[in-house]
Structure 1
Amino acid sequence: MIYFPKDNPPNISPDLAGRTECSREGRNYRTTLHNVQESDSNIYLCIEYVTVNDHHKILDGKRTIVVVKAKTGGALKQSPLYASPQQGQSVSITCVMNSSRGDEGIYLLRTHVQPESVLSVSNQSATRIPPAFAERLEYWREGKQIVITLHNLQENDSDNYVCAEEVRHGKNTRLLSASGTMVLVKEGEQAYSQKACSDSSWFIYSLLIVVALLFCALVCCTLYHVNVLF
């Protein structure tokens, strides 16, 4: 944890001391963490403490999910590496953990476009799913393997999805992560055909209007010449 007092240097927790650079420019705060370790994997949240009418208020800021990949073979295995379903289709992500239980919990995280936890399963089997996926996510688990299926995918679901396992080492916990699955949701064929049909209909209507105008102009021109002759 890092605390930025208003008029004093930042206070940095011991586990980050010596590896952290902090800077401030106006209302913008920047923190750079060097020599990251697997134990640094976590969800980092910026919080601002303000005083309103002599009452303290906490304002939540942007969340950043940091997943540090292991250098050794200790990382989780995840497949597929890439999926490109059409809008409305489903995709299944398979994760193979190092342990058969996960000391503290198992997660599926979105890490790029919209960082958030999509699935959280604790070691007591308590499950947390955000409202956006509440009716569209199912999973089953057997031994070290967990299969997570996301249904009725939309274009805004496109992101990198990473499996992570929270394990305990002594008094500390850390996240072991997989390489992730890049999901790119394409526009559905039905939506595309409807759009193409709509575009085609507008083209036909426009063409008919042009033909009608040309016909009217031709009729008017013919009548004009007839009147001149008589």
Structure 2
Amino acid sequence: MDATLASLPSDANHRVAERAFTEAGWSRCGAGDWAIALRSPDGSAAVRISPFDPTGPYTAALYREAAHTRQVPHLFAHRRLDGGGDLQIMEWLDAVDEPTAAAFHRALAAREPFVADLVDVVRRIHALARRELAWCGPLDTNPSNVMRGADGRLVVADLFYADGPDLYATAASAPDTVVARIPEAERRFMTEIPLAASGPWDTASRAAMRAGLAAADARYRRMPNAGSPRLN
């Protein structure tokens, strides 16, 4: 995996990344609303590749800073991709039954002693994400986010997410608001997320959103304060 990651050019986007890992023998094993996943040839790791994921760096920070709890996935590598995408390589995880997942989420919400250290890291990084990101959502309590490592331990993944319904509704109805808050370089591929769970998303709607954002970007570049920091 190190060689494949090192082979990516500095301006690699999600399409380039997927092609590189596929050519290295990784196989697609799933897709969600924000990302696809590929499994390594030996089955021990997975790579999550997203065209657009503002919360990716915060998720990676959680995996690193809460590693001592052994209640988050082992993160092998994290890299931002051109246009606002995100790539994470982590240990392979298996699904657990819904009651087990729900119980783990309840323990997190109640800050039970066996997850207290994890909760403290989660709350600190989530608070930072809420301060720094426009459209950062609440913690995700989807049962599918609780999984089991090969060693049998329970872990929680993908707790942070962008508020997609609000963000994409705003992009469609008020693109200037999105342009004012998220630089174009960080949302270039926002219409290319898979939406495997919430879709389908028709081609015409995607094209209309891209056109609306492009027009708003052109208007923004003509503004006197175009180089100023973005609003959150």
TM-score by length of 1: 0.25
**Higher strand content, 1 or 2:** 1
**Higher helix content, 1 or 2:** 2
Greater relative CO (CA pairs within 8 A, separation 6+): 2
Question: In terms of Rg, which structure is larger?
Answer: 1
